[in-house]
Amino acid sequence: MSELINNSEKKKELLKHMILQLHKGEAPEMVRKRMIELMSSIPYDDVVEVEQELISEGLPIEEVLRLCDIHTQVLEGHIDQSAAKEIPEGHPADVFKKENRELEKVVAKLNEEYIMLSGLNSEDEIPAYLMKIRDLFNQLMDVEKHYLRKENLLFPFLEKHGITGPPKVMWGKHNETRELLKAAIESLSVNEKLSFEDISGMIQMVLIPASKSITDMIMKEEEILLPMCMDTLSESEWYEIHRQTMTIGYCLYVPDKEWIPEGIQENGEEIHEAGHINLPTGILAVDELIGIFSKLPVDITFVDKNDKVKFFSEGDRIFHRSKAIINRDVRMCHPPHSVHVVEQILNDFKSGKASKAPFWINMKGRFILIEYFAVRNEKGEYLGTLEVTQDLTNARKLEGEQRLLSYAN
């Protein structure tokens, strides 16, 4: 029996055989017991190969999904990762793992809240209790970006290497988790009054399965998927994943270290779709950018380092602008009696003497704030001046608080 256990091929055959036993309906507990007894450890790539073979041999994806949780629970803690590659800080795999740590923190807080139900003194405390849980589940919904990066950035590279089965299985598990999270959010959004019994049932039947699904996926990622990806993908492929990550975003964690693999020169090029503009904090379609500028509650005008007007925002402007001023010297856009003020602002911004110049005026019964800002690059070099104008008349009249929708009725 020891020869069987110590032989990798035999272990794979045994794992495959037992999964098929589960498929045929043999008692899961019996199969689980056999697997734990006979397999003290199994390399993670063997688990992947078995899943791939089962799918290639015709076992439906839906059936693999059904069996996935059972055999994963059996293998948890028994998968040999001694040969797994070290993951550098800032590497996409490192980011996935650190996002997982943040997700685990949220799930841990949820588990604490589940227990806290028994400590409530009256049903009057239930709304505040549910609000805490709802807030934590709202945080868990950020896992969508984590899953989207796997599906749209990581899985395509695995498929190029001929690994198609495991990504399909994991994508299916993502969708199951999405449905569980959706059900949890919906149950927590019910407006009717709930009793302790209602809440207890919700926790057991809806909330715990949803939060547990998150941590179950973490195990699959870190013990099977990521080690396999580290063995399979090249540094240049990982770098493409890293470069495109911002097209989707991060989950509950933002890396503070830029990762560039050895031997790859950073050329500053950005991955982008046609009609989109890459920015340090996201990517916007041109029509989205136009829409945003037209809805800003301020007027914006930008003058470049050569004192030429390069851009102004549209919408309900306070001071009129026409497209005729584009590329016009900013001095020519002001009346003669105020040009000396414009000159001083530009000179002070260029020299570094100042970086901001605020003014406020009363105009036709309105209180107008006009601010000029020096725009500089990361090296501190002057790029131009930004004029921001806003009508603060109504804002100055605000008192107290407004926490409800003003258009609710």
Reported as a single tens digit per residue, the pLDDT across 236-245 is 999 999 988 8
The 10 Å CB-count burial string (b at 16+, else e) for 3-30 is eeeeeeeebbebbbebbebbeeeeeeee
Domain with CATH 1.20.120.520 in the chain: 92-247
* Nearest CA-CA partner of 99 in 249, 264, 244, 234: 249
The pLDDT assigned to 391 comes to 94
Confidence at residue 91, expressed as pLDDT on a 0 to 100 scale? 95
Q: At the topology level of CATH, where does 92-247 sit?
A: Four Helix Bundle (Hemerythrin (Met), subunit A) (1.20.120)
Torsion of CA 39, 150, 227, 60, to 10 degrees: 30
Please give the CATH topology (third level) of the domain spanning 289-397. Beta-Lactamase (3.30.450)
Contact 130, 199 (CB under 8 A): yes
Residues of the chain with pLDDT under 70: 1-8, 22-28, 32-33, 35-45, 47-48, 55, 58-84, 263, 265-274, 408-409
- Rounded to an integer, what is the distance from CA 404 to the centroid of its chain? 28
Q: Give the H/E segment covering residue 341.
A: helix 339-351
Query: Could you tell me where in the chain the CATH 3.30.450.20 domains are found?
Result: 289-397
Round to whole Å and give the CA distance between 70 and 381. 60
Angle between helices 165-188 and 44-56 in degrees, nearest 10 = 90
Cα–Cα distance for residue pair 325/332, rounded to 1 Å? 9
pLDDT the model gives residue 281: 73
**107 three-state secondary structure:** helix
Contacts 24+ apart (CB under 8 A), 218-223: 218/100, 218/103, 218/104, 219/72, 219/76, 220/68, 220/72, 220/170, 220/173, 221/96, 221/100, 221/150, 222/97, 222/100, 223/44, 223/75, 223/76, 223/79, 223/81
Question: Quick one: tokens of 95?
Answer: 């980011």
Strand partners, 285: 276
Q: Who contacts 23 (Cβ-Cβ below 8 Å, separation ≥6)?
A: 59, 63, 67
Provide the strand spans (E) within 232-323: 276-279, 282-285, 299-304, 309-312
Residue 48's alpha-carbon distances to 10, 42, 168, 170, 386, in angstroms, are 15, 11, 12, 11, 55
pTM: 0.62
The token pair at 156 is: 């395509």
* Phi (first) and psi of residue 200, to 5 degrees: -60, -45
In sequence order, which ranges of 76-207 are alpha helices (DSSP H)? 92-116, 126-140, 143-149, 155-160, 165-188, 196-202
Buried b (16+ CB within 10 A) or exposed e, 285-320: eeeeeeeeeeeeebbbbbbbbebebbebbeeeeeee
Residue 351: closest CA among 371, 379, 380: 380
**Sequence-separated (6 or more) residues with CB below 8 Å from residue 206:** 180, 183, 184, 187
